[in-house]
Structure 1
Amino acid sequence: MASIAAEEKLEKLRSAVASLDQISENEKSGFIDLVIRYLSGGADKIDWSKIETPTGEVLLPYASLAPPPEDLETTRKLLDKLVVLKLNGGLGTTMGCTGPKSVIEVRNGFTFLDLIVMQVESLNNKYGCNVPLILMNSFNTHEDTQKILEKYSKANIEIHTFNQSKYPRLGVEDFLPLPCEGKTGKDGWYPPGHGDMFRSLLDTGKLGLFLSQGKEYVFISNSDNLGGVVDIKILNHLLHSQNEYCMEVTPKTLADVKGGTLISFEGRLQLLEVAQVPDENVNEFKSIERFKIFNTNNLWVNLKAIKRLVEADALKMEIIPNPKEVDGVQVLQLETAVAAGIRFFDNTIGINVPRSRFLPVKATSDLLLVQSDLYTVDDGFVIRSEARISPSNPLVELGPEFKKVANFLDRFKSIPSIVELDRLKIHGDVWFGADVVLKGKVSITAKPGVKLEIPDGAVLEDKEINGP
């Protein structure tokens, strides 16, 4: 950061941040550190010529792992070394919901959070272990989550929460924090991505607590990934091999072209996100020929290693600049990703897992899949029907009329049967009766201004419907 202008900009920013009394000293220093790294090129593109494909020694097929122990006592000892952490900082706004995304109903009246609690509780009941659940909230989700947790007070599960950091949004023009310019409400702040998890886990005292209880690994996943469940086979492998970090990856399809991938770079495993790719290489990054896998964000990390690296201030993950607009003002959010931490740990691996371990619900098209006969729920685990022959799920494309959860639910008397569906496209004002069956490739388009109703019990196979 050689320029005088940048130094002056930074001094003004330091002084402005020092005056913010809504955040802790740790948050202030963490934010300033992020800005310094950003100004000195922390968000630079990667040297494309140095990228290598990970070898079979560090990228293991799931099938190659030893089977988990069969006896309950050995399994209990394994599980007693584990903590489950769910990234719970996101709101359900993109699906038209208020509050934390994890409280959207997914199936049979159960929310994401209900299913997560049921999964961990079923492990504790079956094996007599104590696997705690930790929720990393953001200031957006914390209050609502705390209220909801009261309903699990009698469950056989220890639930902890902590808040990730809260950083001020930066005005692009003057490079000053929005809260210093009168934006003191929630709009002036942002949670700086889930890469902040490592530092927040230590700063809030949770890391020390779990280490004192003899815990060794944390399994991290997104709260909206219904496939991100504890896998004893993976835990067993990590405890025997003493890997400090494991990233679960899965084969890429055309629906996953923007997902981050795992590469070898200068002798270490590293996450490669599309934001780091030079413009001229973006198409190559998105192809499924060269980069055949992508990151599921199911991650297993050694707790002692997290403590060592955070205390040494060694986790300098790549910065993801995220431009936004607040009341007509252009602002910048500097974020980091938890999976990008892999390159700082020792003895790291990737495991190429079955697609069933990646079942995110990002939109109502995903909700259609998990609410249909394609899946059942057992002890909180969402299991795909064996009646489905194709290894991949149907591709579902719903028009804007279905975008919000409430509208989506209104438009179906019951969710259609889709076990034999390959592809579904719906556009316009379309409504479904009860017990509809969809097979093969189905496209339904309502003409503008026309309400199109699919009658009860209709069976649509390889059909293209336009109009009433």
Structure 2
Amino acid sequence: MHEDLNHLPEFTEKMRLADLPGPVIDTFGYYYEKVVAGETGLLSDIDIAPVADNELEDAGSLTQYAAAGQRARKHTVMIKLNGGLGTSMGLTTAKSLLKIKGGKSFLHIILEQAAHLGVRLSLMNSFSTQADTQAALSRIRPATAPDTFIQNRFPKILQDTFAPASWPQDPEKEWNPPGHGDIYTALYTSGMLEHFLEADIRYAFISNSDNLGATLEPDILGYFAEHQLPFLMEVAERTPADTKGGHIARLRDGRLVLREVAQCPEKELGAFTDITYYRYFNTNNIWINLGFLKNLLEARAIIHLPMILNPKTLDPRDNMSPAVYQVETAMGAAISLFQGAAAVRVNKDRLIPVKKCNDLLVVRSDYVTVTDDSRLVFNPARRTERINIRLDSDYYGKIDRFDERFSRGVPSLVDCESLAVDGDVAFGKRVVLKGKVTISNSEPFQKWIGDNTVIEGNLSL
């Protein structure tokens, strides 16, 4: 370790002045010592082996556990990770407030899902989303308000000196979210873990707020509860679109492990992206036995998740701002910490995320439908299992520009296999796309596709 570069006392004081709890400060200190020591958090192929088909239960074969799942529902909380702003889509408020389907936001639909299921709901907000979310809840006024708690934050580390980053013009940029792996510490330090256990809430189902395909599934809950598993990860078979998603593997001692792309040595990226070798990726739908989690926290005080060290610029919008490290962890990485942790294979209906405007188009279209109990599912009448969408990022990459071009409604995609749009194109009402569609406008001004137009194949405007 380079002692002359160790600024841990300064970080400790900075976090103390920000009123961060002791366990959060200690957790950051644990990772900071690794950073200064030159550790990168990389996990090499020589340390892991792929997971075979016969090592995983299939969710489709768990129907015999449905009754057990219904019995366990009253002891279960559904936690949504609600800390994201959706800056990659140009959003400036909590991403969960984006209108996603039928004029309703992620948050509104999540509340409806919880009400239909009759299950307790909790939101892990961030410092950035707490106020927006509380204001939205006040407007929606659900019959049962969700529990809320706030994700912690870590200070950014200057790459050249390992000192705390300073940005007086916007001090908030000196901090970064510590990744959704912080949920375990946040549950503990907020008192929410003890609150749940005192209410006889034994199990937690955790998923991203922008994935409305992830609802509480009785079959999986029953399997999880009956087998008294400490930790269960939902995984899905990787496709060419999933090459950068974190995959599961086995450590040499037999424990399951999650490896994110940021943890893969650069020379091994070829193997990482080989979907025939590492076949299963983490959906970020996680089931936790809260009693086991409490025992782990009491035994260890700090949950030592594998570190993800992300090199960034201090101001994400200013490439000339100082180079920093952001220390983060992944929620699913806890799979390697729980003795007896398992994974279950699920189909892609459990994963309908909206990360970019391309995804938003699919979900707003008839390619995805809403069930009577507010679940989002892929339309069984769709032509393909998965649709490939590529919208010109200059004109559709940000939500305001996207909404302008689909102001009269999104096209029908149920019979569409793929869509590529190049140039500035606006869509009229009731446009229908079929097969493999390419639409291009090479002119420097916008062109319209008229109402009721049916397009199949290539269209040059």
TM-score between both structures, scaled by the size of structure 1: 0.91
Which residue does 1:31 correspond to in 2?
28
Out of 22-31 and 260-269, give the one that drifted further.
22-31
Alignment check: 8 A CA contact 2:8 2:32 kept:
no
2:45 pairs, out of 32, 45, 48, with 48
Separation in structure 2 between the aligned mates of residue 211 and residue 416 of structure 1, nearest angstrom = 47
Which residue does 2:128 correspond to in 1?
140
Out of 59-68 and 396-405, give the one that drifted further.
59-68
Separation in structure 2 between the aligned mates of residue 411 and residue 444 of structure 1, nearest angstrom = 14
Out of 60-69 and 392-401, give the one that drifted further.
60-69
Which residue does 1:365 correspond to in 2?
358
Which residue does 2:117 correspond to in 1?
123
1:191-230 superposed matches below 5 A: 191-230=177-216
Separation in structure 1 between the aligned mates of residue 188 and residue 237 of structure 2, nearest angstrom = 33
Which residue does 2:234 correspond to in 1?
248
Separation in structure 1 between the aligned mates of residue 109 and residue 433 of structure 2, nearest angstrom = 27
Separation in structure 2 between the aligned mates of residue 395 and residue 166 of structure 1, nearest angstrom = 35
Structure 1 residue 160 corresponds to structure 2 residue 155: no
Structure 1 residue 430 corresponds to structure 2 residue 425: yes
Out of 214-223 and 55-64, give the one that drifted further.
55-64
The 3 A distance-change label for structure 1 pair 346 and 66 is farther
- For 1:397, the aligned partner's letter is R
Structure 1 residue 22 corresponds to structure 2 residue 9: no
Separation in structure 2 between the aligned mates of residue 464 and residue 397 of structure 1, nearest angstrom = 14
Which residue does 2:8 correspond to in 1?
13
Alignment check: 8 A CA contact 2:262 2:310 kept:
no
Separation in structure 2 between the aligned mates of residue 76 and residue 238 of structure 1, nearest angstrom = 12
1:109 pairs, out of 98, 103, 120, with 103
1:54-453 superposed matches below 5 A: 54-55=51-52, 58-69=55-66, 76-124=70-118, 131-155=119-143, 157-179=144-166, 182=168, 185-266=171-252, 267-311=254-298, 312-313=300-301, 315-325=303-313, 326=315, 328-378=321-371, 379-390=373-384, 392-400=385-393, 401-412=395-406, 413-453=408-448
Alignment check: 8 A CA contact 1:422 1:440 kept:
yes
Separation in structure 2 between the aligned mates of residue 164 and residue 42 of structure 1, nearest angstrom = 25
Identical-pair percentage = 35
Per-residue deviation, 1:219: 0.5
Aligned length: 449
- Residue aligned with 2:64, SS: coil
Q: Deviations over 1:186-240 (max 9, x none)?
A: 1111111111110110011000011111111111101101211110100000111
Per-residue deviation, 1:82: 0.6
Per-residue deviation, 1:158: 4.2
Separation in structure 1 between the aligned mates of residue 358 and residue 3 of structure 2, nearest angstrom = 48
The 3 A distance-change label for structure 1 pair 57 and 315 is farther
- For 2:425, the aligned partner's letter is V
Separation in structure 2 between the aligned mates of residue 459 and residue 56 of structure 1, nearest angstrom = 42
Q: Deviations over 1:64-112 (max 9, x none)?
A: 2243445xxx655310111111111110221122111110000111101
Separation in structure 2 between the aligned mates of residue 350 and residue 161 of structure 1, nearest angstrom = 27
Per-residue deviation, 1:315: 2.3
Alignment check: 8 A CA contact 2:70 2:222 kept:
no
Separation in structure 2 between the aligned mates of residue 268 and residue 372 of structure 1, nearest angstrom = 41
- For 2:130, the aligned partner's letter is H
Separation in structure 2 between the aligned mates of residue 361 and residue 424 of structure 1, nearest angstrom = 17
- For 1:122, the aligned partner's letter is H
TM-score between both structures, scaled by the size of structure 2: 0.93
- Residue aligned with 2:412, SS: coil
Alignment check: 8 A CA contact 1:297 1:339 kept:
yes
Out of 32-41 and 302-311, give the one that drifted further.
32-41
Separation in structure 1 between the aligned mates of residue 69 and residue 46 of structure 2, nearest angstrom = 44
- Provide the aligned C-alpha RMSD in A: 1.9
Q: Deviations over 1:282-305 (max 9, x none)?
A: 112102211222110000011011
Alignment check: 8 A CA contact 1:429 1:451 kept:
yes
Q: Deviations over 1:5-33 (max 9, x none)?
A: x22322x3313531551232423322222
Out of 325-334 and 354-363, give the one that drifted further.
325-334
Alignment check: 8 A CA contact 2:41 2:309 kept:
no
Per-residue deviation, 1:344: 0.4
Unaligned runs of 5+ in 2: none
- Residue aligned with 1:415, SS: coil
Unaligned runs of 5+ in 1: 125-130
- For 2:312, the aligned partner's letter is K
The 3 A distance-change label for structure 1 pair 381 and 289 is same
Separation in structure 2 between the aligned mates of residue 307 and residue 216 of structure 1, nearest angstrom = 11
- Residue aligned with 1:418, SS: strand
Per-residue deviation, 1:274: 1.6
